[in-house]
Amino acid sequence: MSTSDQPDALTEARQQFQNENTEAAFETLTSEVQRLHDRVHELNRNYEHAVAKTEQLQADVTDLEATLEAKDQTIEALQDEVDQQEAANERLHDRIAAVEADNDALRAENTQLEDRVSTLEAELDRRPHIEWAGPDPTELAITSSEAGNTVKPYQAIRDRVDADTHELLEERVQRLEDGEANVIVRGEFDGDELPIERKIAMRKAGGDLSANKARATLVFPKFGGHADTRGGSQLVLSSSDVRAILRETTDRSEWPNETIKRTMQWTAKLTSRRDEKHDWGARDDENLLTLRHGRDGELELVADIDEYREYYAELEEAQNHE
C-alpha cells in the first residue's frame, strides 16, 4: 500500500481500541504526538530561519538605500564643485578681459601722452622771443621778434569769456569726480533723459518704487563721487562702494550681498539708452553704467569716463536753461 492508502494514526489507534489492544493504541497515539511535536519544532525552526532571512534582506535593502543616498550626495557635491569651478572660470575670464582692456587703455593713453609731449616740445622749439609794444593798455600788443606776429591781449581776454564758460563746466565735472558734488536730474523731461532720472524724480516726489529701484536712485547720484578712475578711460564703482553709499544714505548699516547685487543690477538697467523696457540689460555696453565682474570676482558698475562727462555736461546745460 502507498502512504496515502495507509490508515492515519488516529484511525489505526481507534481500530486497536476496538480490538481491545489498548497498549498498541496508546503507543500509536504517543508516536503520532511525538511526530506532530517534531513537525511543529521543525516548522518553528523554518519560521525563525525565514524571519532571520527577512531581517537580513531588510538590512541589505537599508544598506543599499544608504549607499544610493551617499552616491546621490557625492554626485550633488561633484555638481556643486563643477558649478563653482565654472563660476571661477567665468570670473577669471572677466578678470583677464578687464586686464586686457586696462592694458589697451594704458597703451592708448601712453601713445596720447607721447604725442602730447612731442607736440609741446615742437611748440617750445617754435616759440619766439616776445617783446611788448604800445603805451595804451587797451591797445597793448605782444610782437614776435622773429616772425613779426602780433597778439593783442585785451581782445584775447574778451574772446576768452566764452571759453571760460566751458572751463567752468569742466570744473564742475571735476568736482563731481572728486566727490564734491552729486549728479543732479533735469527739472523737465524731454525724452532724452535716462530712466534713472525719472525714478529719482519719482522718489523725491514720494512716488511708489520697488525697494531695489529706490536703492538704485540713491546709488546713481553718488556714482561720480565714489567711483575710481581706472586706466584713464573708465570710472569704476565696486560692490563695496555701493554698500558704503547705502550706509551713508539710509539708516541701515548691514546690507546682504544679494541685496547689493540686485541694487547694482537695477542701477545699471535704469541707465539704459534703449527705448523698450524689455531690452534693458544690466550688462549692456550701451548703458551709461554697465555691470560686470571685476578683479577678484567683485561686481562693478563701470562707465566710460568721456561718456560720463558728456552726460553730466548735458545735465548742467539742462539746468542752466531751466
> Is residue 132 within 8 Å of 142, Cβ to Cβ?
yes
Answer yes or no: pTM beyond 0.95. Answer: no
The strand pair at 130-133 and 228-230 is best described as unpaired
Closest CA to 222 of 310, 289, 144, 156: 289
- In this prediction, residue 204 has a pLDDT band, given cuts at 50, 70 and 90, of very high
- Between 28-42, 65-79, 153-167, 196-210, the lowest mean confidence (pLDDT) is in 153-167
Name the residue type at position 130: I
CA 144, 145, 146, 150 torsion: positive or negative?
positive
Sheet holding 141-144, edge to edge: 130-133, 141-144, 150-151
The CA-atom distances, in angstroms, between 162 and each of 3, 157, 158, 165, 167 are: 133, 10, 8, 5, 9
Sheet holding 234-238, edge to edge: 228-230, 234-238, 299-304, 290-293
pLDDT tens-place string over residues 230-263: 988 999 999 999 999 999 999 999 999 999 999 9
The CA-atom distances, in angstroms, between 167 and each of 116, 170, 257 are: 20, 5, 41
pLDDT at 106: 82
| The residue to which cell 542752466 is assigned | 320
- Pairwise CA distance, residues 135 & 140, whole Å: 7
pLDDT at 4: 46
pLDDT tens-place string over residues 156-201: 544 443 344 345 445 554 554 444 444 555 555 556 789 999 999 9
Q: What percent of the chain has pLDDT over 90?
A: 43
